[in-house]
């Protein structure tokens, strides 16, 4: 299996498919564009499956490695590979791409080919991020993947999309520049290498480590997003079309978190240990502060956006407690959040397509007219609140248990999400779904159609599968997470 | 048949029934939904009987079904522990569930959500069985939350009623407060014992008896005390102990069959079961046991008082449930775990009976639940009347009936307990006997005896019971008479009345005095000798029943019955006068000690205010207002050029970004 360049396929199949979809041109050919996009997305997913089936779970290092020279003069290489930390995200990304193509099927009637192509190309670029082992390659993918997202928000977005896109731009630009500076420092320090794996072995003094860590922290914290650099996310979600929100929540937020594991922890382990308290504090603020903020949102998308920030707080919290249970819990939380938040945004999209409002106050009693939808939305709301037997539980449970061992009060604050998560999820559910039919719009609602049902049912199965049997997911991670922790435990200061 | 397959069949049969009735609830006919679910639960009950006999023959089991997950050095498994405690719970759960399933055919026959209801109660049975059969803390938590979910679904079953959908959210959230403590307790267990497997943890527990942890500054806390109190907070949520009891009375918004099954007989006893299961841990901390006994005593007495002033038939029974849960908790605190489980079992039968009988009355009264509109029903509903009487007599502790043996054992055990708080608890459980008898027979007399007050034009029942649920017409029309309910309703009443009479007499010998729970429930008799002192005075069930006639509880109960008869049958003007005379006390009771108001104002209101403050002040004010938009303005001020970039076309921004990247790359390449 590993003879095939699987990772290149995972990157380039969607991008090429996106290019082909673009060739269909205007909206006359929209049905063809949709069909080609679906084929491209499914192909893109199929080529990633051997990554999991052929994965050697006993091996913690990089697998499916591809190495070719790219810009030899600066020793920049086309260097790909995945380990137990990144592999599942490639699959998740390819899977979510199918979901978003299907989610935009009838809803998008304007510039269909461009819409579908943007998602396919973004999918390929994001796979590039998860599999790059070269700093510059990573950076190129990291920045390039933003362009389709800007376009998706800007072209197919809501009324206030310019402000949202500009805010996003301002935030990310700042982080990206610092990230690039840090990379250059590492390049010179390592005697001219952009290999991330070389940087892992590079000895660095504590002072520079701290600076590099902070540069990484800013770059990644914006993406996660962590408090207090999170305010772009609710605006971006509110303005994005449904598909954009799904990708942003399911994959976009994972890029920053992934950066911590690929860059911050292994490259500057001493600084990571030194400044773990800072990250943990920010994470706990995200869980508690954002939990309260989510509670009072009147806009459903903003509510789910804030809940995403709180859930990502668990991820960064898990990373910086440096134990296998915590890091694996955080990784599980990332994957689960991909399913659950994607499904939540899709659910809101289903209602928005019918009523054209995201305001909780415009709904009420939806269960009377959309019983099937209400049942599925219940499942995802409960998963969002971390109910056992759903994937939402697994990561939270692992991180909280690991936190008790780390420090009781950290666990105490993290566990408040049990209450806050249930409060904002169920309060929204109550106001939107339960009760008498609130108005004419709700009365006229039609239940989910076959396509919508299929999307939600697939996501529901994923959520339940991961909740009932997370073992296949964590199995993949063990060796790589253990390697990472062993590596972090060794000081790089000479 | 292989016993392990049988263990697996017990939870899976109801799950299968729930899936048939639930996933296809809109296409299958009603008979199929109830046949499938009843068959599932009946199979589970029959298999539980087989398992019980097997356990009595000495075959216990502790094994894994599948590995849920591994991480680091930790292994999380789904598995079963089958011993006498589990087998007892399995029998109680499946039997009461079966009764409730049958009863539901009659109770819900007019409801459009018939199939959905059957699906939920079968799903509940599955969840509860997973909870009691667990052999580890993870699965326990699983079942714990799953029963909470089903409870949420069922309280909000009539989802268009504003009170129901408020009550179900409240129930879930209050339970989550309990779970918050519970998960921290589980975390402490994992952190210090390195496993969540019961057997491993209990084996290691004695070694941690004097272990301490550092929680605040340099203060050392006993590990077992902190762990047990955290775990018990979970039990307080699920078993509705003060101050986390507030959800249980409101849960009466759900249909009556689930009030019987979930909010009286089984789910709310999960906390009692859990603490009994954890007896090897709780025995190591007298402080935690004191905490338990005090909370239980407060619940037992003060929730009983509230039962006196309720006029909704279901709420009277609900407060009675709270009070009885308090009794069980007191037993736990006195280290009389076996007595707590014994009371759990007897209570499950007679309380399910009382609730189902209340439901039968509600059907007979055409969904009027106000006992002030009833009276003299015994003529019209003889079976309901007799079975209610049996249930009430069992509840107040009439000698030789089920409740007597379990409740008297609790009182006796507490009498001999010497841990801090036991004195107060003894007073509370004794006083509670009088209160229980008083409110139980107040309800009994008002419903079944005296003047017929129904069928009048103006009945002043609570406004929220005659709201919009179209299929439920409320109250009897003038001149209309109540009627006895169909056999599917009365049969479960009769079948539950039988154990309500005999189970105490049969059970006390083996369960409390014998070694039924040997090796399952661990009591450190040297440190907590209450139960063994009680047993020194125990000379068989018959002797205990006869002896009762010379003990205070009997006379307290008798006094309660006589007083309620005098107040509500002979001189109804007296209670009204007392209400006027002690208006302040009455107001306090009517407001349920203001728990709801405080919770709504301080916690729910406070959370919203805090959320708004953080959002508007923190996010919008400081972060966006000052920093983000501020830097945007700064950029605009420094270089007016930037205004050109704010064209509103996103591809301009994207393009700018690429250019920026290229410029940087070029600069840097030139440098190199």
Work out the percent of chain A whose per-residue pLDDT is above 70: 99
Closest residue in chain A to residue B186, using alpha carbons only: A401
With pLDDT > 90 as the criterion, what percentage of chain B qualifies? 53
Tell me which chain B residues have a C-beta less than 8 angstroms from the C-beta of A409.
215
pLDDT, tens digit (0-9, with 9 covering 90-100), for B469-482: 444 456 777 777 88
Q: State whether ipTM is beyond 0.90.
A: yes
The CA-atom distances, in angstroms, between B343 and each of A34, B301, B324, B499 are 65, 17, 9, 13
Out of A379-388, B456-465, B478-487, give the one with best mean pLDDT.
Answer: A379-388
Q: Which of residues 251-290 of A touch B (CB under 8 A)?
A: 289
Hey, of B12, B22, B72, which one would you mutate to test binding to chain A, going by the most A CBs within 10 A of its CB? B72
Quick one: pLDDT at residue B451? 86
Q: Which element (helix H / strand E) includes B66?
A: strand B61-71
User: How many Cβ atoms are within 10 Å of A443's Cβ, its own excluded?
Assistant: 11
**Beta bridge partners of residue A79, listed in sequence order:** A67
Partnered with residue B212 across adjacent β-strands are: B222
**What is A415-448 written as a DSSP string?**
HHHHHHHHHHHHHHHHHHHSSS--SHHHHT----
Here the tokens at position B185 are: 């307790």
Per-residue model confidence (pLDDT) at position A316: 94
Could you read off the pLDDT of B94-109 as tens digits, one per residue? Answer: 999 999 999 999 888 8
**CA distances, A154 to each of A345, B539, B656 (Å):** 18, 84, 15
Per CB-CB distance under 8 Å, the chain B contacts of A143 are 657-658, 661
Q: Which residues contact B467 (CB under 8 A, 6 or more apart)?
A: B161, B162, B163
Residue window 113-142, chain A: list those with CB within 8 Å of chain B: none
Give me the mean pLDDT over the B588-595 stretch: 84
Q: Which residue has the tokens 């080609």?
A: A36
Q: Per the CB < 8 Å rule, is A292 touching B611?
A: yes
**Closest CA–CA distance from residue B595 to any residue of chain A (Å):** 19
DSSP string, A276-332: HHHHHHHHHHHHHHHHHHHHT-SBHHHHHHHHHHHHHHHHHHHHTT--HHHHHHHHH
Work out the average pLDDT over A196-222: 90
Interface check B663 vs A, CB under 8 A: no
Give contacts of A365 with chain B, Cβ < 8 Å: 160
The answer to whether B184 and B230 have CB atoms below 8 angstroms apart is yes
Tokens of B353: 């009976």
* Domain residue ranges in chain B: 3-456+481-570, 597-670
Summarised one tens digit per residue, pLDDT across range B365-412 is 888 888 888 888 888 999 999 999 999 999 999 999 999 999 999 999
CA distance A463 to A344: 12
B179 vs A169, higher pLDDT: B179
The stretch B317-326 carries a mean pLDDT of 93
Chain A residue numbers with beta carbons less than 8 Å from the beta carbon of B138 are 397
Q: Exposure of A109 by Cβ count < 10 A (0-12 exposed, 13-18 middle, 19+ buried)? A: exposed
Q: What is the pLDDT of residue B460?
A: 46
**Rounded Cα distance, B280 and B47, in Å:** 29
CA distance B150 to B254: 11
**Nearest-angstrom CA–CA distance, B458 and B451:** 16
Q: Which residues on chain B are in Cβ contact (under 8 Å) with A166?
A: 632, 646, 653
Residue in B closest to A171 by C-alpha: B628
Q: Which residue of B has its CA nearest to A479?
A: B72
Q: Which two tokens stand for residue B169?
A: 């959210």
- Write down the mean pLDDT value for chain B: 87
The yes-or-no verdict on residue B629 having pLDDT over 80 is: no
Task: Kindly indicate the confidence band of residue B669, based on its pLDDT and cuts at 50, 70 and 90.
Answer: low
How sure is the predictor about B633, in pLDDT bands with cuts at 50, 70 and 90?
Answer: low
Confidence of residue B666 (pLDDT cuts 50, 70, 90): low
What's the pTM? 0.91
Q: How far apart are CA B240 and CA B246, in angstroms?
A: 7
Mean pLDDT of the region A177-205: 88
Instruction: Decide if B470 touches A, using CB distance below 8 A.
Output: no
* Nearest C-alpha in A relative to B70: A471
pLDDT at B472: 47
The pLDDT assigned to B642 comes to 47
Closest CA relative to residue A215, chosen from A183, A248, A250: A183
Using the Cβ of A470 and the Cβ atoms of chain B, whether some distance falls under 8 Å is answered with yes
The full set of domain ranges for chain A reads 1-156
On the question of pLDDT at B465 being above 70, the answer is: no
Output the CA–CA distances (angstroms, integers) from residue A131 to A86, A137, A316, in the order listed.
7, 10, 21
Q: Return residues 180-209 of B near A (CB < 8 Å).
A: 180, 183-184, 186-188, 190-191
Residue given tokens 């006498």 in the structure block = B84
Q: What secondary structure does DSSP assign to A444-462, as a single string? A: T-----HHHHHHHHHHHHH
* Residues A455-475, mean pLDDT to the nearest whole number: 94
**Residue in chain A lying closest to B230 (CA):** A412
What count of Cα atoms within 13 Å lies in the side-chain half-sphere of residue A84? 23
Helix (H) or strand (E) holding A67: strand A63-71
A299 forms beta bridges with A359
Nearest to A419 among B68, B74, B180 (CB): B180
Give which of A178, A398, A418 to mutate to test B binding, by max B Cβ within 10 Å: A418
Q: Which long-range contacts (CB under 8 A, 24 or more apart) does A54-58 make?
A: A54/A1, A54/A2, A54/A6, A55/A84, A55/A87, A55/A476, A57/A84, A57/A475, A57/A476, A57/A478, A57/A479, A58/A479
CA distance B424 to B302: 13
Kind and range of the H or E run holding A77: strand A76-82
**Closest to B619 (Cβ–Cβ): which among A231, A394, A469?**
A231
DSSP state of B594: G
Scanning every residue of chain B, which has its alpha carbon at the shortest distance from the alpha carbon of A470? B69
Query: For all residues of chain A together, what is the average pLDDT?
Result: 90
pLDDT at position B536:
87
Q: Which of A145, A351, A109, A166 is nearest to A248 (CA)?
A: A145
CB atoms within 10 A of CB B12: 17
Mark B340-365 as b/e (b = at least 16 C-beta within 10 Å).
Answer: bbbbbbbbbbbbbbbbbbbbbbbbbb
Q: Which of B70-74, B153-157, B546-550, B632-636 has the lowest mean pLDDT?
A: B632-636
Q: Which of A148, A228, A408, A428 to mutate to test the interface with B (most CBs of B within 10 A)?
A: A408
Question: Cβ separation of A143 and B653 shorter than 8 Å?
Answer: no
Length of chain B: 672
Cβ B607 vs Cβ A423: under 8 Å: yes
Q: What is the CA radius of gyration of chain B?
A: 28
Kindly determine whether residue A295 and residue B71, on different chains, have CB atoms separated by under 8 Å.
no
Q: Which of A368, A400, A430 shows the shortest C-beta gap to B183? A: A400
Cross-chain residue pair B180–A289, CB shorter than 8 Å:
no
DSSP secondary structure of B547-588: HGGGSHHHHHHHHHHHHHHIIIII-THHHHHHHHHTHHHHHH
Nearest residue to B527 (alpha-carbon basis) of B346, B358, B334, B661? B334
In chain B, residues with a C-beta closer than 8 Å to the C-beta of A422 are 172-173, 176
Cβ of B657 and A173 within 8 Å?
yes
Strands B74-82 and B61-71: antiparallel
Residue A243 near residue A308 (C-beta atoms within 8 A): no
Q: Helix, strand, or coil here: B535?
A: helix
- pLDDT (tens digit per residue) in A52-109: 998 898 888 889 989 888 888 888 889 999 999 999 999 999 999 999 999 988 888 8
């Amino acid at each position: 299996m590993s003879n095939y360049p699987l990772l290149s396929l995972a990157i380039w199949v969607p991008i090429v498919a996106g290019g082909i979809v673009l060739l269909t041109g205007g909206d006359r050919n929209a049905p063809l564009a949709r069909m080609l996009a679906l084929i491209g997305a499914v192909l893109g997913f199929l080529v990633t499956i051997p990554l999991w089936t052929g994965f050697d779970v006993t091996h913690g290092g990089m697998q499916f490695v591809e190495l070719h020279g790219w810009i030899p003069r600066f020793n920049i290489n086309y260097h790909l590979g995945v380990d137990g930390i990144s592999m599942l995200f490639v699959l998740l990304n390819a899977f979510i791409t199918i979901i978003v193509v299907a989610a935009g099927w009838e809803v998008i009637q304007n510039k269909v080919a461009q819409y579908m192509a943007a998602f396919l190309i973004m999918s390929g670029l994001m796979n590039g991020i998860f599999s790059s082992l070269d700093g510059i390659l990573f950076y190129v993918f990291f920045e390039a993947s933003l362009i389709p997202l800007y376009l998706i928000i800007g072209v197919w977005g809501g009324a206030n999309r310019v402000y949202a896109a500009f805010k996003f731009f301002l935030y990310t630009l700042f982080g990206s520049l610092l990230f690039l500076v840090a990379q250059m420092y590492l390049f010179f320090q390592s005697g001219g290498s952009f290999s991330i794996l070389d940087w892992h072995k590079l000895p660095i003094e504590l002072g520079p480590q701290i600076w590099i860590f902070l540069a990484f922290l800013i770059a990644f914290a914006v993406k996660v997003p962590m408090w207090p650099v999170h305010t772009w996310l609710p605006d971006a979600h509110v303005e994005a079309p449904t598909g954009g929100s799904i990708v942003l929540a399911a994959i976009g937020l994972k890029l920053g978190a992934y950066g911590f594991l690929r860059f911050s922890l292994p490259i500057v382990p001493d600084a990571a240990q030194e400044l773990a308290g800072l990250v943990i504090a920010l994470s706990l603020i995200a869980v508690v502060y954002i939990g309260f903020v989510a509670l009072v949102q009147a806009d459903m998308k903003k509510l789910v956006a804030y809940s995403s920030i709180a859930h990502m707080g668990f991820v960064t919290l898990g990373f910086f407690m440096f134990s296998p249970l915590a890091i694996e819990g955080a990784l599980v939380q990332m994957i689960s959040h991909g399913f659950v938040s994607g499904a939540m945004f899709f659910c809101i999209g289903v209602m928005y397509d019918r009523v054209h409002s995201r305001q909780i106050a415009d709904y009420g009693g939806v269960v009377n007219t959309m019983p099937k939808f209400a049942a599925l939305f219940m499942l995802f709301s409960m998963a969002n609140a971390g109910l056992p037997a759903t994937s939402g539980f697994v990561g939270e449970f692992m991180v909280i248990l690991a936190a008790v061992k780390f420090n009781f009060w950290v666990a105490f604050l993290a566990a408040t999400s049990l209450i806050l998560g249930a409060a904002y999820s169920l309060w929204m559910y109550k106001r939107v779904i339960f009760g008498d039919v609130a108005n004419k719009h709700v009365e006229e609602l039609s239940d989910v159609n076959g396509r919508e049902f299929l999307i939600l049912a697939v996501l529901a199965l994923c959520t339940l599968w991961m909740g009932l049997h997370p073992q296949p997911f964590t199995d993949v991670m063990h060796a790589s997470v253990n390697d990472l922790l062993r590596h972090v435990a060794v000081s790089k200061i000479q | 048949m292989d016993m392990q397959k049988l263990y697996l069949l017990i939870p899976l049969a109801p799950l299968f029934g729930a899936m048939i009735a639930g996933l296809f609830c809109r296409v299958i006919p009603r008979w199929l939904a109830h046949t499938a679910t009843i068959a599932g639960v009946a199979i589970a009950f029959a298999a539980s009987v087989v398992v019980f006999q097997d356990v009595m023959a000495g075959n216990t089991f502790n094994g894994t079904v599948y590995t849920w997950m591994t991480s680091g050095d930790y292994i999380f498994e789904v598995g079963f522990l089958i011993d006498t405690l589990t087998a007892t719970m399995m029998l109680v759960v499946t039997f009461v569930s079966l009764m409730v399933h049958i009863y539901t055919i009659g109770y819900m026959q007019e409801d459009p959500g018939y199939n959905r209801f059957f699906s939920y109660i079968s799903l509940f049975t599955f969840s509860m069985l997973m909870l009691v059969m667990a052999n580890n803390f993870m699965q326990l938590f699983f079942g714990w939350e799953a029963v909470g979910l089903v409870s949420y679904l069922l309280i909000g079953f009539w989802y268009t009623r504003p009170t129901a959908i408020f009550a179900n959210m409240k129930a879930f959230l209050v339970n989550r407060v309990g779970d918050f403590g519970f998960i921290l307790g589980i975390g402490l267990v994992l952190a210090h014992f390195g496993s969540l497997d019961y057997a491993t943890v209990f084996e290691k527990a004695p070694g941690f008896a004097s272990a301490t942890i550092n929680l605040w500054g340099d203060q050392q806390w006993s590990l077992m005390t902190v762990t047990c109190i955290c775990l018990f907070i979970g039990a307080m949520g699920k078993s509705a102990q003060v101050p986390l009891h507030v959800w249980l009375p409101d849960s009466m918004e759900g249909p009556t069959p689930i009030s019987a099954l979930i909010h009286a007989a089984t789910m709310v006893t999960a906390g009692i079961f859990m603490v009994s299961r954890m007896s090897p841990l709780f025995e190591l901390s007298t402080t935690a046991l004191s905490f338990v006994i005090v909370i239980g005593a407060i619940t037992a007495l003060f929730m009983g008082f509230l039962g006196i002033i309720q006029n909704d038939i279901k709420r009277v029974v609900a407060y009675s449930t709270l009070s009885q849960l308090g009794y069980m908790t007191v037993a736990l605190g006195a280290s009389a775990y076996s007595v707590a489980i014994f009371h759990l079992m007897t209570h499950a039968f007679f309380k399910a009976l009382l609730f189902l009988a209340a439901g039968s009355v509600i059907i007979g009264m055409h969904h009027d639940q106000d006992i002030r509109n009833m009276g003299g029903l015994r003529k019209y509903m003889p079976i309901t009347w007799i079975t209610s009487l049996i249930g009430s007599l069992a509840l107040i502790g009439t000698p030789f009936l089920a409740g007597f043996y379990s409740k008297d054992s609790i009182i006796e055990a507490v009498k001999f307990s010497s841990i801090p708080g036991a004195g107060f608890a003894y007073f509370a459980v004794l006083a509670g006997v009088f209160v229980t008898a008083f409110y139980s027979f107040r309800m009994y007399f008002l419903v079944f005896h005296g003047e017929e007050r129904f069928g009048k034009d103006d009945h002043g029942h609570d406004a929220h019971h005659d709201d919009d649920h179209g299929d439920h017409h409320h109250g009897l029309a003038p001149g209309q008479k109540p009627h006895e309910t169909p056999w599917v309703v009365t049969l479960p009443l009769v079948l539950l009345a039988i154990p309500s009479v005999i189970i105490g007499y049969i059970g006390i010998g083996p369960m409390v005095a014998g070694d039924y729970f040997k090796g399952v429930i661990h009591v450190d008799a040297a440190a907590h000798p209450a139960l063994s002192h009680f047993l020194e005075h125990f000379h068989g069930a018959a002797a205990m029943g006869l002896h009762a006639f010379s003990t205070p509880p009997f006379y307290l109960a008798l006094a309660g019955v006589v007083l309620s008869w005098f107040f509500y049958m002979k001189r109804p003007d007296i209670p009204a006068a007392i209400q006027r005379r002690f208006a302040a006390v009455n107001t306090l009771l009517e407001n349920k000690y203001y728990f709801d108001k405080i919770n709504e104002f301080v916690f729910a209101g406070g959370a919203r205010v805090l959320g708004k403050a953080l959002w508007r002040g923190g996010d919008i004010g400081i972060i966006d207002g000052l920093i983000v938009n501020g830097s945007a303005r700064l950029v605009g001020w420094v270089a007016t050029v930037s205004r050109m970039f704010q064209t509103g076309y996103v591809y301009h921004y994207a393009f700018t970004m690429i250019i920026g990247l290229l410029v940087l790359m070029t600069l840097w390449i030139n440098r190199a």
